[in-house]
């Protein structure tokens, strides 16, 4: 018997200090802008997605973290470096590292200071 409470999707609301700049940043990373209105932009890449919001508090943004699990983290790292976002947006892209929790990943900060960990399972 179904009670109609099946979850369909979960997305985080990622803060943006400069909403227009952050939208360009994520598009330059290869995310597809699928919707934009009312201070919220819907981004997707394959089967993953998140919502970028026109909202910023320094304490919130500097403590906000996203995790993107990918099939080939080395390919993603090359892609991010080749995209030129570090130079264009003044953000940090970390080196590939093996983590004690069984992942290989790298960090990427967005223009608002949000930390992304992009990794693959070992």
Interval 37-83: pLDDT, tens: 999 999 999 999 999 999 999 999 999 999 999 999 999 999 999 99
pLDDT tens, position by position, 77-115: 999 999 999 999 999 999 999 999 999 999 999 999 999
Q: CATH for 13-121?
A: 3.10.180.10
Distances (CA, A) of 3 to 7, 8, 9, 16: 11, 14, 17, 37
Assessment of whether the complete model's pTM goes beyond 0.75: yes
Q: Which residues of 6-38 are buried (b: 16+ CB within 10 A; e: fewer)?
A: eeeeeeeebbbbebeebbbbbeebebeeeeeee
pLDDT-based confidence at 8, cuts 50/70/90? Answer: confident
pLDDT-based confidence at 3, cuts 50/70/90? Answer: confident
């Amino acid at each position: 018997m179904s009670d109609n409470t099946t979850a369909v999707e979960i997305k985080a609301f990622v803060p943006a200090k400069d909403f227009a700049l952050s939208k360009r940043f994520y598009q330059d990373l290869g995310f597809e802008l699928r919707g934009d209105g009312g201070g919220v932009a819907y981004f997707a890449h394959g089967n993953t997605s998140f919502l970028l919001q026109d909202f910023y508090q320094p304490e919130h943004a500097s403590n906000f973290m996203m995790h993107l699990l990918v099939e080939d983290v080395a390919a993603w790292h090359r892609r991010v470096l080749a995209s030129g976002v570090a130079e264009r947006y003044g953000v940090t892209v970390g080196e590939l590292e093996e983590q004690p929790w069984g992942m290989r990943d790298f960090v990427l900060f967005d223009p608002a200071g949000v930390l992304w960990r992009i990794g693959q399972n070992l």
